[in-house]
Chain A
């Protein structure tokens, strides 16, 4: 059992990461889980050419949709309305929560059953509804475990990946009345199923996220394995779906390739148990299904990402989590360290748009730029390039970075000392005489190099200049070769 609880604040990233790195249980959990998910994905894409073709198709679908985003959203809205779905728009988390509250109050709901939705995490729906006496219960097994324990998801697909079965056994025994302590996973799932069934049967309002929105048919597409997504959207009287405005695709035929890319990249499954296409509320004569279906389209910083072409690519994301599973930094520090709703490489790209670059400025640096995230991304988002762009934007060294005028908190990671250091470097490197003087001094005065060099020496030996610079050594070598040659010449 790990007692480590990283803080839900991206400004605490470095402290959070240190906490997790010192916890052997958490480290093992993340390492094992990421290796497992990466292996499973690899087994689904044995042929890299076939993967490349499918990925190009997925990327084309998403780029096409984003290039027509305003038009497709209007088509989607019209078709959803024709199907009887009520469409709402929300600028931010407050807007979205107000919409949820209005609908719940209209139906005198005291609780909601929730399918898994990262966007609902983004707007902190559970906490906000609790303030108004509305009890939201998570029904995805992983999310349910976390809710009982007052914890947060550490992965967007496998939220409770940092918990061991012993953790779950203790949480269930403590929090679920009548549940005994058992570490048998089948029994634990049976307890979760039984407890949540009562909630599904009695709930008035069900909440879900959405994986894809189809403009041409006005359809909500949900992908899942457990069946809680189907129950949340079918059993209650009212279904409220919430998602980001970027999830729309133009045509129904665009769904199958994206579905394949999603399930294979996320959990290494050729298919999930359920692909659920929701076309609207219960029609006359039908005997079940919600009487009202609402869709909340959330902006919350997405239009800002849309404004600059480079960062628009982040909106191609289909939330598979493959970039996390393959990130050597994520596998070590875990999802909780990032302190954001979306962790890992894609989280570092999305989060600045949701909050600001000021708060999330350390996240783009949590990458070795090894390129694995970009290689596995099923929709071809150039994640490593964008991480570099964000690092530049956070420091604003180069004028090119200033083109990214859309981002809040830009340039906030820069410090005067750092700016001066770079300025000094530029002067030295563009003036050969000055450079030679500097390197002569540095090599002659090497003995006085400080032993403590800030963050560098915390885990490494101090950097000490060599006895002679490379230029001097080359000059010496040339001189000795010349002497050698002259010696032989005189003898012959």
Chain B
């Protein structure tokens, strides 16, 4: 297909303007946005507006909060990443018969993942105050499907990782210098309004989203 490539590019080059149109000033646009002092409260409010359940907790008590969720929702099998900062807390909160580590490739885990597991728990890398969104960077320990295939997604988010907007998060963490194979913004459970514009939660992704919000300091 290199012929198609060369032909397309040469047509574009022949028509491209000699001087490019000026670049946008992104930072100036966001600098004008008013800062918000009640950022944690606002995040909680927005996330709940998107039908996420937000449970406020702290660095020592989140495993108990998790245990309460597992009991209240009668979860039979929770899937989690091994060897993460959360693993010990999860092991302490959930009995071994009701949890499983995502410790094999999806090719092996596929039947379990699609048919048996009823919740997946992941770390949230951060949160976005403006929209009540979670930032997820799936990795080897917490793969992409962990927050996607089970009907319930539980995310552990620390208040110190909240950013005002996606722009602020990208800039502060220098995303452009190195992105993972997959990065996500997740806002509430999956949903659709494709039938007569009637909103239904639980389209193809999780039907429910629970955020365990760990208070560990002020947002960035």
Chain A interface (Cβ < 8 Å from any Cβ of B): 33, 36, 53-54, 57, 60-61, 63-64, 66-71, 73-74, 83, 88-91, 95, 99, 139-142, 145, 158-161, 163-165, 168, 185-186, 188-190, 192-193, 196-197, 200-201, 216-217, 219, 225-228, 230-231, 234-235, 245, 250-257, 259, 267, 270-283, 285-289, 297, 299, 303, 306-307, 309
A97 to B13, CA, bound (A): 26
B131 vs chain A, min Cβ distance (A) = 4
For A192, the chain B residues whose CB sits under 8 A away are 203
A276 to B120, CA, bound (A): 18
Q: Assess whether B133 is in contact with A234, with CB atoms less than 8 Å apart.
A: no
A103 vs chain B, min Cβ distance (A) = 12
* The 5 nearest A-B residue pairs measured at CB: A227-B205, A142-B194, A226-B203, A227-B190, A288-B106
Q: Is B16 an interface residue (CB 8 A)?
A: yes
Picked from B186, B189, B204, the residue with its CB within 8 Å of the CB of A196 is B204
For A277, the chain B residues whose CB sits under 8 A away are 179, 182-184
Q: Assess whether B181 is in contact with A282, with CB atoms less than 8 Å apart.
A: yes
For A309, the chain B residues whose CB sits under 8 A away are 17
Q: Assess whether B204 is in contact with A256, with CB atoms less than 8 Å apart.
A: no
A68 to B111, CA, bound (A): 47
Picked from B9, B29, B149, B194, the residue with its CB within 8 Å of the CB of A53 is B29
Q: Assess whether A271 is in contact with B133, with CB atoms less than 8 Å apart.
A: yes
Q: Assess whether A193 is in contact with B202, with CB atoms less than 8 Å apart.
A: yes
A66 to B195, CA, bound (A): 36
Q: Assess whether A279 is in contact with B180, with CB atoms less than 8 Å apart.
A: yes
Q: Assess whether A235 is in contact with B200, with CB atoms less than 8 Å apart.
A: no
Closest to B196 in A: A165
Closest to B183 in A: A277
Chain B interface (Cβ < 8 Å from any Cβ of A): 1-2, 4-5, 7-9, 11-13, 15-17, 19-24, 26, 29, 50, 102, 104-106, 109-111, 114, 130-133, 139-140, 143-145, 148-149, 165-167, 170-171, 175-176, 179-198, 200, 202-206
Q: Assess whether A188 is in contact with B203, with CB atoms less than 8 Å apart.
A: no
A161 to B198, CA, bound (A): 11
For A168, the chain B residues whose CB sits under 8 A away are 195-196
For B206, the chain A residues whose CB sits under 8 A away are 227
Q: Assess whether B175 is in contact with A252, with CB atoms less than 8 Å apart.
A: yes
Q: Assess whether B145 is in contact with A235, with CB atoms less than 8 Å apart.
A: yes
B62 vs chain A, min Cβ distance (A) = 24
For A270, the chain B residues whose CB sits under 8 A away are 130-131
Known: A70-B16, A217-B179, A226-B191. Contact between A164 and B196, CB under 8 A? Answer: yes
Q: Which of B23, B114, B130, B132 has the most chain A CB within a 10 Å cutoff?
A: B23
For A190, the chain B residues whose CB sits under 8 A away are 202
Q: Assess whether A189 is in contact with B5, with CB atoms less than 8 Å apart.
A: no
Picked from B17, B110, B175, the residue with its CB within 8 Å of the CB of A67 is B17
Q: Which of B9, B11, B194, B203 has the most chain A CB within a 10 Å cutoff?
A: B194
A66 to B21, CA, bound (A): 8
Give 6 pairs: A residue, B residue, CB < 8 Å, sorted on A.
Answer: A83-B181, A89-B1, A165-B195, A189-B192, A226-B191, A286-B140
A287 to B180, CA, bound (A): 14
For A297, the chain B residues whose CB sits under 8 A away are 8
Known: A273-B188, A283-B181, A286-B143. Contact between A68 and B16, CB under 8 A? Answer: yes
Q: Assess whether B8 is in contact with A158, with CB atoms less than 8 Å apart.
A: no
For B187, the chain A residues whose CB sits under 8 A away are 271-274
Picked from B149, B176, B180, the residue with its CB within 8 Å of the CB of A253 is B176
A303 to B16, CA, bound (A): 10
Q: Assess whether A257 is in contact with B102, with CB atoms less than 8 Å apart.
A: no
Q: Assess whether B205 is in contact with A230, with CB atoms less than 8 Å apart.
A: yes
Known: A196-B204, A278-B182. Contact between A158 and B194, CB under 8 A? Answer: yes
Q: Assess whether A288 is in contact with B204, with CB atoms less than 8 Å apart.
A: no
Q: Assess whether B186 is in contact with A226, with CB atoms less than 8 Å apart.
A: no
Q: Which of B29, B139, B143, B185 has the most chain A CB within a 10 Å cutoff?
A: B185
For B26, the chain A residues whose CB sits under 8 A away are 57, 251, 253-254, 256-257
A460 vs chain B, min Cβ distance (A) = 35
B99 vs chain A, min Cβ distance (A) = 17
For A201, the chain B residues whose CB sits under 8 A away are 110-111, 114
B64 vs chain A, min Cβ distance (A) = 29
Picked from A234, A250, A289, A299, the residue with its CB within 8 Å of the CB of B23 is A250
A95 vs chain B, min Cβ distance (A) = 6
A168 to B205, CA, bound (A): 21
Q: Assess whether B192 is in contact with A234, with CB atoms less than 8 Å apart.
A: no
A411 vs chain B, min Cβ distance (A) = 22
Q: Assess whether A159 is in contact with B194, with CB atoms less than 8 Å apart.
A: yes
Q: Assess whether B7 is in contact with A91, with CB atoms less than 8 Å apart.
A: yes
Known: A70-B16, A287-B102. Contact between A185 and B198, CB under 8 A? Answer: yes
B175 vs chain A, min Cβ distance (A) = 6
B170 vs chain A, min Cβ distance (A) = 6
B136 vs chain A, min Cβ distance (A) = 10
A48 to B195, CA, bound (A): 31
